[in-house]
A and B are shown apart, each in its own frame.
Chain A
Amino acid sequence: MSSSPLRLLLDFDAQYRRDRDQTPAFLHRRDRRLALVREQAGATPPSLAEWLHAVGDGRHHTAPLRHWRRLNGGLVLAGGVLGVLTMLGLLYVTGPARINVTLFLALVLVQLLLAVLTAGQSLAGWRPWGALLDRSDPDQPAPALRPLQPQLAGRAAQAGGLAFAITALLTLLAQILVRDLAFGWSTTLQTSAPAYHGLVNALAWPWRGWLPAAVPDLDLVAQSRYFRLQNGQPADPALLGGWWPFLVMTWLCYVVLPRLVLLMLAQAHLRHRARRLLRDHPGVAALRERFATPWVDSGDETPAGAPLATPSPGPAPEPPADTGTLIRWAGADDRDRLRPRLGEARVLDAGGAASLEQDRDTLNRADGGRPVVILVRAWEPPTGDLADFLDDARAHWGAATPILLQPLATDDRGLAPWQRFVARRQDPALQLCPPLPADQEAAAP
């Protein structure tokens, strides 16, 4: 289960993207079921982490963070090495030269400014090195991570800065331990020892109350001033080493601690932004809606049968002129369009509203020695009643009597069931005639 908001955001976004390939119906059913299970147990709908645990694949999708992890590691390493080198460079002196405290304080100020600027760009969502970082990342950042780039960059920079500050401090302590460092102060500005003492006293404000040994006194400040063109030795060389507690505390309070605090702030800001992004994620509102909306299933997912294959129609004969009987099936009537073509054919009725006795009577009265035309409505599919009638007709008239089904049709669409019907009967003397155009009035009984 994801606990970090950033990881939760990435996991949720990955699941959201996978879900886009699912049907809305499936998603609704799945999530509503989860909410109902919780509801039955008397609990509220699942949290996002619980939901991910239930529907996800159990893996964390933190691959998009790999680039940032590498960058973080690189910056921490670079910061650490640079911290050592910078402090060694600052403390490097030869001969009787002194290490300028003013220069040290300037470096502290620069570090503090850099830390604050980094925090500012992160808060403002600005990415001054964005293009450079993008070029170092061959993959496109994950969409969910894109708006977090300034915060991720800010956190990485603060981590690198903290590594710089800590290794520089350790280097300073090591140098103090193993070398005889002589500190002094020097500046081109016309300033007096009391004024400089006021400055260091003000800088020592955070610890002067509880660590007075780390606050240089006026005597030390006055005696440790030097000028580049003055060759005189200090009155008491041992005194000059007395600056180190102040310098260590200054570095600790104005470089290490701000970096640490700002790194924690950057982390908190990142988590806060990730939480907000998760809250505003388009998938979250949709998910909550699915939790709350009943799943209505109207049976729409029941698979329907496949359409039937229609045999290709064979050559369709016209009703022959020597037709002996025209049977109007189930009230089909062409009025006067077909009968003149059939000469003296007898016209009978069967099917539909006619009784079974009337059907039998029709079979008896029909001229089974000559072709029989059965007029049917093409838009009404053939029924079992007609199949029974044809069976009885065959039994009555014999297998050789040509029987022609003459459909009345308004279009060709209704013919397929009739073609299948004729093919299914496997009766060589049963044929389907070309459809005869019908109007609705003609179709009336």
Chain B
Amino acid sequence: MTAPPRFAVVGHPNKGKSSIVATLAQNDGIAIALEPGTTRDSHHYPLSVDGHVLYELIDTPGFQRPRKVLAWLQAHSASASDRADTVRAFVTQHRGDPRFHDECELLTPILDGAGILYVVDGAVPYSPEQEAEMEILRWTGRPSLALINRIGEGDHLADWRAALGQYFQIVRDFDAVRAPFDTHLSLLRGFGQLAPDWEAPLEEAVTHLRDQRRHRQHRALGLIAEALADMLTHAESARFNEHDNRDALEHDLARRWRDRQRRREQTLRRDVEALYRHRHLHRREQQLDWDGGHDLFSDQARRAWGVSRTYLATAGFGAGALGGAGIDALAAGHSLGTGALIGGVLGAAGSLYYGGKYADKLGALKLLAPLAGGGRQAEFGPVRDPQFGYVVLGRALEHWFQVSHRNHAGRDPLTLDHGDRHWLEQLPRPDRQRLQKALQNPPRHQSDGKRRQALEQAVENAGAAFLVWRETPSD
């Protein structure tokens, strides 16, 4: 079996080598530890599928003394044919020399057969000072690709392309922080073009990474559906004794209910982040802009993710009609659609009644069966306001979108972003009705398979519509 292709990510210190590895290896831990020039040893990041390695990225330290290395090479080379051997001789001679530790670390994998990914910063102007590094790499004779990363705001891509083209087989632009997922895959395909033997494993890797992303999307939407069902059906309960103050108990239970819903939303976020391997994101969670003034129960959240009363009435009518149509079907059509009509009217009326001012109709205290030992069971919840489901869903989809489209080199905190058009516009009318019905009838327990599947399907459709909405530029 041939060895999998390996790629050494090399370059001047602080040009984004680790950012590129962080994004391609989906490891935000690399970005967290990213202090300019602190990479002293090579780190290997293999991509394996079921234990079979398809390729390997090697994060290396930056060049520290390229002019001295080049001077040594030039002094010890007799002709162009011995250049690779001369580089090897340099590494052999200086392996224990602390002054050339970094150069030996970065050159060793290249001499062992790795391809070269040379990283430069396209935001600063081209400088001939890096030519010594490029010359050393050219001396190794290994397949090479130059990546123009953009760390700042400047744009000097054309100059860099022209200069790098003289030293490297392929030159590509790649923004490690902002490049979309398809660009990651395209870059990997570019790696495969460096050598004939590398094309097949890289192509296989691209296929698996694409499948993995699809799988993650499905799982993330499943997690959202699970959290929605949990939050829509949750109730807080306590014992209500004869002499207790009913208002105080209601206030206390309502507070507990809200706190629990907030915690559940946080758990969902952590689950989605873990799914996408953003394990260090929660450390910066306190900086999340959307948690400051955008509490789950705030009017801002309602305005951003709730729906209008007209929408509620329309979707409620549709959802009610779906249920009523079942009665018509049982009557073999003899009811002439009366069931659908009555169901629709009831659905619309219910949605209108409970869809009033947000947070006022979230729930109310209910006194239930007497308890052993005296008193009665008091319960707050499940939620009655149909807006709540839309708010939770909208926020969850927005968070999922942000996380799933965030590269692992990203270091800025997540920020809530929503346009001036509502995402539900992208959802076809029958899907809106199904969503409304699923939100009105969430699964009460985990074995409620039919309702759970209906909710999962509704969230899956909503996720697809949300993606279209977020990826479509506003007019």
Q: Which residues of A are at the interface with B, using a C-beta cutoff of 8 A?
A: 23-25, 32-33, 36, 131, 135, 143-144, 146-147, 277, 280-282, 286, 289, 293-308, 330-331, 351-353, 355-356, 379-385, 388, 410, 414, 416-417, 440, 443-445
Contact = CB atoms under 8 A, between A and B. Distances in A.
A282 B449 CA distance: 8
Nearest to A306: B33
A417 B102 CA distance: 16
Interface string B161-180: 00000000000000000000
Given A380-B14, A384-B99, A385-B64, A24 B446 contact: no
B45 A299 contact: yes
The SS class assigned to the A binding surface is loop
Given A280-B447, A356-B67, A302 B275 contact: no
Nearest to B219: A24
Best-surrounded residue of A25, A280, A281 (most CB of chain B within 10 A): A280
A293 B446 contact: no
B334 interface: no
A280 B452 CA distance: 9
Contacts, number: 165
Interface stretch (B22-30, B138-146, B462-470): B22-30
Contacts of A445: 125, 127-129
8 contacts: A296-B47, A298-B24, A298-B27, A300-B26, A302-B27, A304-B33, A383-B63, A440-B153
Interface stretch (B207-215, B399-407, B429-437): B207-215
B50 A36 contact: yes
Contact of B68 (A23, A143, A388): A388
A144 B446 contact: yes
A300 B25 contact: yes
B416 interface: no
Which 4 residue pairs across A and B have the least CB separation, nearest first?
A384-B64, A381-B37, A299-B45, A280-B449
A331 B127 contact: yes
Interface residues of B, number: 66
A32 B212 CA distance: 14
Contacts of B129: 330-331, 351-353, 445
Contacts of B127: 331, 352-353, 445
Interface in B23-78: 24-27, 29-30, 32-33, 35-38, 43-51, 56-57, 62-68, 71
Contacts of B49: 294-297
Contacts of B274: 23-25
Contacts of B212: 293, 296
B106 to A, nearest CB: 13
A335 to B, nearest CB: 14
B445 A146 contact: yes
Contacts of B47: 296-299
A417 B445 contact: no
Contacts of B277: 25, 300
A356 B446 contact: no
Contacts of A294: 49-50, 208, 211
Given A289-B219, A303-B29, A304-B27, 5 more contacts: A36-B50, A300-B26, A308-B38, A352-B129, A381-B37
Contacts of B27: 298-302, 304
A144 B408 CA distance: 38
A356 B75 CA distance: 13
A139 B48 CA distance: 46
B68 to A, nearest CB: 7
A382 B37 contact: yes
A298 B62 CA distance: 23
B68 A356 contact: yes
Contacts of B219: 24, 286, 289
Contacts of B30: 304
Given A296-B208, A353-B127, A382-B37, A32 B50 contact: yes
Contacts of A303: 29
B124 interface: yes
Nearest to B71: A356
